[in-house]
Structure 1
């Protein structure tokens, strides 16, 4: 007696292999994360004074805001003016080439703004800029 073997054809998997597409997506995600620059913000919106000679500064990694009511904001937290130096030193450890931009409200006390700029310079920052809006508009 002869036994017949029955070969059943297995149905081929007709699904789409998504592995290469997922690899490309993850590589693109890593590329964008590595190449993107993260902007540090002071954490509060101020009404900057207008200046006809205001120019754009390319590097400004540490933003310090001074409000009209005398609050100082760094990294989305209100801080005491005496602790500005310590905060700037800590942030400079991460970005040693970064500049400091002081975003003072147009109604802020000049003395407080000068204190903040002085604290930033005592932290070792030589490039301290004062933010202003352009005189147009």
Structure 2
């Protein structure tokens, strides 16, 4: 499957997730909205944080590599954002429906919720890109 000519938003959840995990999705079509959708779908599919995080990390590294920018992968942002989506899922009556989750969590799609947790300097550090760092700024 290739999504070079298909809008990822038009794909079913299963097809979208398969495109992400096989890197069939075009890196240029894998923006923030797609990152959040992939996080949600992986967490919903596995029902456990660690396996979902592992699958997301592998997929993001592969997509960044396919785009020729493997250095764009950011471990801290990946782990922190996956944890944030996971917490929201636990407290949300979305019923396993991506669209319902997206409607009830627009801030995850339209803003930078990590900005209240991490300073720009923390996220810009080479260490944060390479390994998960705990925030030192109170929310």
- Fold match by TM threshold 0.5: no
Greater strand share, 1 or 2?
A: 1
Question: Normalized against structure 2, the TM-score is what?
Answer: 0.29
Question: Normalized against structure 1, the TM-score is what?
Answer: 0.29
Query: Looking at CA atoms only, which structure, 1 or 2, has the larger radius of gyration?
Result: 1
Structure number with the bigger relative contact order (C-alpha 8 A, sep ≥ 6) is: 1
